[in-house]
Amino acid sequence: MKSIETIISELIESAHVLENVASVALSEASGRVLAADVLAQMNVPPFDNSAMDGYAISAPEGFDETTAFRVVQRISAGETGVPLSRGEAARIFTGAAIPHGTTQVVMQELCVVSDNVLHVRAVCASGEFIRRRAEDVAAGATLLKAGLRLTAAHVALLASMGVEQVLVRPLLKVALLTTGSELVDVGQPLAEGQIYNSNRYALAALFGQWGCEVVLDEQVVDDLSLTIDLLRRAAVVADLIVTCGGVSVGEEDYVKQAVTSLGELHSWQVAMKPGKPLAFGQVLATPLIGLPGNPVSSFLTACLCARPYVRARLGMARLLPRWFDVLADFDWLKPDVKRVEFLRTTYTDSGVQLAGTQGSGVMTSVANADVLVRVEAGQVVHGGDVLRAVSLTELMSL
Ligand code: AMP
Ligand code: MG
């Protein structure tokens, strides 16, 4: 058995970054991975402007509440005024350009104006309520780095620079093959002995969230030649083939044989629970990841092992999720002695508790969980112990 760390690094090492980068409109860029650094093309804000509705004043040395300012102009957002001289003020609105000569902006709540003469009710500091040119971004600075997945906040920054198009990595084309003669697609009635093909939907949703485009999504019965045919078709259309089920040691497990006949396969026993059988190889020239069939095992091996690989193919800078400490609010007295266990847990006021039974077929505890906690092989856990945890929300998103 290999450790999960070994498996993840072997997967990452073998990952070739998708090369055919493309330019997309900013409105399409959210969720995509930047293919090149973006340098700031301009200062943001481009000019000093008011942070308040109020008055821009040009205050003489040592001014106070008795100082009278002459209101000489009115500047709304989008307008530029004329320079202020000492003792003058401009009515000004949020976002409007600060006129030359302004020492500070006084919010309107602190201003008393009559007959175009302004008195301030409280003295404020020089420079107050002025948003300085380039205080957010200076022209020429590296604004965003290649390998970043663009979020709404990054899109906002790019828009503030007037950027219209961004260079991004393509989506990873995934062929998803679920195997098993017992599987029935949703919407069909179940006969005795059959189950719904839930992994198909779980995996399509996960890989879709991770920056993949599912270009082929098919179910195949446990049959060698049908599996070979399907793999051959998948290899032509996909950047990555993901299979589910049929990789363990039973005689109805045909994925390994089928892959070996078309390419090569490294099949591993991963020392993790849930999990264990996992395969990696290639069909013709297309890489293949073979996930286990048990619903929780396939879900968690996808999240923990396939996700970093997908991120590497997408050229992402950060491949691994963030791990953090949590306090156990449960006891785990009979650990697996050989395998690391990932327990599905939910937050409580004093840490995390088990989100339900931890069997490898029990999806309810995945659906109810907030975080996965890691328990080492042979590690007994008592309430109050510190454990390493990872957010399922993070694992399920790009
Ligand atoms: P396998 O790895 O093919 O031996 O499958 C292990 C277990 O997972 C069996 O109980 C299968 O019925 C179940 N299973 C396999 N594939 C799926 C699937 N796509 N959806 C739901 N359960 C599955
Ligand atoms: Mg099977």
Cβ atoms of 241 and 263 closer than 8 Å: no
Between the CA of 274 and the centroid of ligand 1 the distance, in Å, is 13
Residue 194 pLDDT class (50, 70, 90 cuts) = very high
Between the CA of 204 and the centroid of ligand 2 the distance, in Å, is 18
Q: Parallel, antiparallel, or unpaired: how do β-strands 111-114 and 117-120 relate?
A: antiparallel
Amino acid 266: pLDDT: 86
Kindly report, residue by residue over 20-73, the tens digit of the pLDDT: 999 999 999 999 999 999 999 999 999 999 999 999 999 999 999 999 999 999
Instruction: Name the percent of the chain lying above pLDDT 90.
Output: 94
Looking at residue 223, its amino acid is: D
Cβ atoms of 190 and 256 closer than 8 Å: no
Amino acid 250: pLDDT: 79
pLDDT at 395 over 90: yes
Kindly report, residue by residue over 64-80, the tens digit of the pLDDT: 999 999 999 999 999 99
pLDDT at 341 over 90: yes
Task: Return left, alpha or beta for 85; rule: phi > 0 is left, psi -120 to 50 is alpha, else beta.
Answer: beta
What is the arithmetic mean of pLDDT over 187-209? 97
Task: For domain 49-131, give its CATH number from 3.90.550.10, 1.10.3720.10, 3.40.50.300, 2.170.190.11.
Answer: 2.170.190.11
Q: Is 191 helix (H, G, I), strand (E, B) or coil?
A: coil
Kindly report, residue by residue over 170-190, the tens digit of the pLDDT: 999 999 999 999 999 999 999
Amino acid 267: pLDDT: 80
What is the arithmetic mean of pLDDT over 335-350? 97
* Ligand 1 atom closest to 222 (CA): 3
CA atoms within 13 A on the CB side of 179: 29
CB of 274 closer than 6 A to ligand 1? Answer: no
Interatomic CA distance for residues 300 and 342, integer angstroms: 8
Quickly count: other Cβ atoms within 10 Å of residue 327's Cβ: 14
Instruction: Name the percent of the chain lying above pLDDT 70.
Output: 100
Between the CA of 248 and the centroid of ligand 2 the distance, in Å, is 8
What is the arithmetic mean of pLDDT over 238-262? 91
Instruction: Check residue 16 and report its DSSP letter.
Output: P
126 φ/ψ angles, rounded to the nearest 5 degrees: -60, 135
CB of 199 closer than 6 A to ligand 1? Answer: yes
Interatomic CA distance for residues 264 and 267, integer angstroms: 10
Which candidate, 166, 169, 167, places its Cα nearest to that of 158? 166
44 φ/ψ angles, rounded to the nearest 5 degrees: -130, 120
Amino acid 125: pLDDT: 92
Residue 82 pLDDT class (50, 70, 90 cuts) = very high
Interatomic CA distance for residues 238 and 173, integer angstroms: 5
Interatomic CA distance for residues 203 and 237, integer angstroms: 18
Task: For domain 323-391, give its CATH number from 1.10.10.10, 3.40.1480.10, 3.40.50.300, 2.40.340.10.
Answer: 2.40.340.10
Probe target for ligand 1 pocket from 244, 294, 301, 364, with the most ligand atoms within 8 Å of CB: 294
Cβ atoms of 90 and 74 closer than 8 Å: yes
The residue contributing the CA closest to ligand 1 atom 10 is 294
pLDDT at 268 over 90: no
Whose atoms come closest to the Cα of 194: which ligand?
A: 1
Tell me which architecture the domain covering 4-19+170-313 has in CATH: 3-Layer(aba) Sandwich (3.40)
- If one compares 275 and 55, the residue with the highest pLDDT of the two is 55
Whose atoms come closest to the Cα of 297: which ligand?
A: 1
Q: Is 139 helix (H, G, I), strand (E, B) or coil?
A: coil
CATH no., domain 22-43+145-168: 3.90.105.10
pLDDT at 305 over 90: yes
Amino acid 360: pLDDT: 85
What is the arithmetic mean of pLDDT over 347-363? 93
Between the CA of 363 and the centroid of ligand 2 the distance, in Å, is 17
Between the CA of 371 and the centroid of ligand 2 the distance, in Å, is 28
Amino acid 140: pLDDT: 96
Amino acid 247: pLDDT: 87
What is the arithmetic mean of pLDDT over 188-205? 98
Q: Is 142 helix (H, G, I), strand (E, B) or coil?
A: strand
Residue 313 pLDDT class (50, 70, 90 cuts) = very high
What is the arithmetic mean of pLDDT over 209-234? 97
* Ligand 1 atom closest to 198 (CA): 20
Residue 195 pLDDT class (50, 70, 90 cuts) = very high
Judged on CB neighbours under 10 Å (0-12, 13-18, 19+), 194 is middle
CB of 292 closer than 6 A to ligand 1? Answer: yes
Domain boundaries, the chain: 4-19+170-313, 22-43+145-168, 49-131, 323-391
Torsion of Cα atoms, 224 then 230 then 234 then 235, to 10° = 50
Amino acid 276: pLDDT: 84
Interatomic CA distance for residues 172 and 152, integer angstroms: 21
Q: Which residues contact 122 (CB under 8 A, 6 or more apart)?
A: 65, 110
The enclosing H or E element of 237 equals helix 224-237
Kindly report, residue by residue over 279-301, the tens digit of the pLDDT: 999 999 999 999 999 999 999 99
Kindly report, residue by residue over 93-127, the tens digit of the pLDDT: 999 999 999 999 999 999 999 999 999 999 989 99
Judged on CB neighbours under 10 Å (0-12, 13-18, 19+), 241 is buried
Between the CA of 144 and the centroid of ligand 2 the distance, in Å, is 45
pLDDT at 253 over 90: no
What is the arithmetic mean of pLDDT over 261-284? 92
Report the side by side order of strands in the sheet with 111-114: 104-107, 54-57, 88-92, 69-75, 117-120, 111-114
Structure tokens at 128: 């107050």
Torsion of Cα atoms, 260 then 203 then 273 then 252, to 10° = -40
Global pTM reads 0.91
Looking at residue 247, its amino acid is: V
